[in-house]
Amino acid sequence: MHKGKKLYEGKAKIIYAGPERGTAIQHFKDDATAYNNLKKSTIEGKGVLNNRISEHILNSLNQIGIKTHLIKRINMREQLIRLVEIIPLEFIVRNIATGSLTKRLGITDGTVLDLPLIEYSFKNDELGDPLVALEHITAFKWASIEEIKKINTICLRVNDFMLGMFRGVGIKLVDFKLEFGRIEINGKKEILLADEISPDTCRLWDVVSEKKLDKDRFRKDLGNLIQAYQEVAHRLKILPEEANISEVKFNKPTAVRLKKK
Ligand code: 5GP
């Protein structure tokens, strides 16, 4: 598939122009960053796993009628996507209080929320993605009230779906981040779920042991990140070529090795 020029490079992904107008190729890198780029590393195999996990989740969401930018996965590291105009906001959905919420408000870590909480952050690395209110969003025209209402509804549907999907494989969905974009279809603006949904963008805890199966393993120096992401992929039964992945013991900090068929 023809890959055009690089349009954008982020911390964990690169976006290239796609083979047709309105399409793009999303490439998943192995780079990991945390604390606003203060902590950086490269973790071999992370991009491949996130590509597969995100493909699985976005395809499942498509099947329940949630429109996403994903057209198809094209290889181990890349997806063909619709090119959208990204809304410069991160939508954080929380079921259990942890991370920045507990630091900001002094809430006890692990407090189960009665209802899911949606927070908005302004996407700006230099400012450290600051939390913003609905009033900031409309005042600075980052999105309209109608768009936010639509997006909030989608966030809650995604949360409902993913809570069930993960609970079915013994994983608690603690919180996650979503991004959305606009696209024009027949002269009408539509909202599409964009970016990725993976252990890089979600907090996932084992139901019994509360073992972290997400990027907090990197943020908090817990090690075994690839093994944790692999465990998520195995539990979701989305590694059909798993026979070709050399098994890595959970305590070895070596990365997953992918062999050609
Ligand atoms: P917190 O605000 O507690 O740091 O993060 C809440 C949730 O959103 C976590 O699941 C976290 O992984 C995700 N999240 C928030 N901001 C970002 C970001 O800039 N990049 C990524 N990959 N995930 C984020």
CA distance 63 to 140: 34
Give the pLDDT mean for 48-56.
98
User: Is residue 251's pLDDT more than 50?
Assistant: no
The finding on whether 176 has its CB within 6 A of some atom of ligand 1 is: yes
Whether 165 maps to a domain, the answer reads: yes
**Which domain does 60 fall in, by range?**
6-84+226-242
State which ligand 1 atom lies nearest to the alpha carbon of 99.
3
Question: Which of 132, 174, 177 to probe ligand 1 with, by most ligand atoms within 8 A of CB?
Answer: 177
| pLDDT at position 240 | 60
Six-digit token pair at 116?
């899911």
Q: Check if 100 has its Cβ closer than 6 Å to any atom of ligand 1.
A: yes
Supply the CATH number for residue 76's domain. 3.30.200.20
Mean pLDDT for 24-29 is 98
Q: What is the DSSP string of 93-128?
A: EEEE--HHHHHHH-PPTTPEEEEEEEEEEE--GGGT
For residues 126 and 39, state if they share a domain.
no
In a domain, 254, yes or no: no
* Ligand 1 atom at minimal distance to the Cα of residue 202: 10
Does residue 219 belong to any structural domain of this protein?
Answer: no
Share of the chain above pLDDT 90, in %: 88
**What's the confidence (pLDDT) of residue 36?**
83
Asked whether residue 197 falls in the same domain as residue 96, the answer is yes
Residue nearest to atom 24 of ligand 1 (CA): 201
pLDDT at residue 14 is higher than 70: yes
Q: Do 164 and 233 belong together in one domain?
A: no
Mean pLDDT of 52-62: 98
Q: Confidence class of residue 256 from pLDDT cuts 50, 70 and 90?
A: very low
Taking alpha carbons only, the member of 229, 223, 231, 230 closest to residue 252 is 223
pLDDT of residue 41: 95
Distance 227 CA to ligand 1 centre (A): 20
Return mean pLDDT, the chain: 92
Domain identity same for 176 and 161: yes
Least confident of 57-61, 132-136, 182-186, 242-246: 242-246
Residue 214 lies in a domain: no
* Domain count for the chain: 2
CA distances in angstroms from 124 to 6, 68, 94, 138, listed in the order given: 20, 23, 21, 17
Reported as a pLDDT band with limits 50, 70 and 90, residue 245 is very low
- The token pair at 178 is 């979503």
Residue nearest to atom 19 of ligand 1 (CA): 129
Examine the domain organization and report whether 65 and 93 are in the same domain: no
Query: Is a pLDDT exceeding 90 seen at residue 91?
Result: yes
Q: What whole-number distance in Å separates Cα of residue 19 and Cα of residue 181? A: 20
98 and 124 housed in the same domain: yes
Mutate to test the pocket of ligand 1, among 172, 175, 216 (most ligand atoms within 8 A of CB): 175
> Distance from the CA of 187 to the center of ligand 1, in angstroms?
34
**Residue 12 to residue 202: CA distance in whole angstroms:** 14
Q: Is this prediction's pTM over 0.85?
A: yes
Position 145 in a domain: yes
The answer on pLDDT for 134 being more than 50 is: yes
59 and 108 both lie in a single domain: no
First-to-last alpha carbon distance for the chain, in angstroms, is: 20
Residue matched to tokens 């990197």: 218
CA 48/CA 29 separation, integer angstroms:
8
For the residues 99-113, what does the mean pLDDT come to? 98
Q: Does the residue 60 lie in any domain?
A: yes
Is there a single domain that holds both residue 43 and residue 117?
no
Q: Is the CB of 92 under 6 A from ligand 1?
A: yes
* Mean pLDDT, residues 22-28: 98
Distance 177 CA to ligand 1 centre (A): 6
109 C-alpha to ligand 1 centroid (Å):
16
Cα 216 to ligand 1 centre (Å): 10
Closest ligand 1 atom to Cα of 215: 12
pLDDT attached to residue 93: 99
Same domain, 75 and 167: no
Q: Is any atom of ligand 1 closer than 6 Å to the C-beta of 175?
A: yes
Label residue 185 by pLDDT band (50, 70, 90).
Answer: confident
pLDDT for residue 239: 79
76 with 110, same domain? no
Segment 73-91 shows an average pLDDT of: 98
Q: Are residues 35 and 119 in the same domain?
A: no
Average pLDDT over residues 85-95: 98
Domain annotation covers residue 136: yes
Q: Does residue 196's CB lie within 6 angstroms of at least one atom of ligand 1?
A: no
The CATH number linked to 155 is 3.30.470.20
List the one residue out of 44, 81, 63, 66 whose CA is nearest residue 196.
Answer: 81
Those residues whose C-beta lies under 8 Å from the C-beta of residue 55, and which sit 6 or more positions away, are 70, 73, 79, 238
What mean pLDDT is predicted for residues 59-83? 98
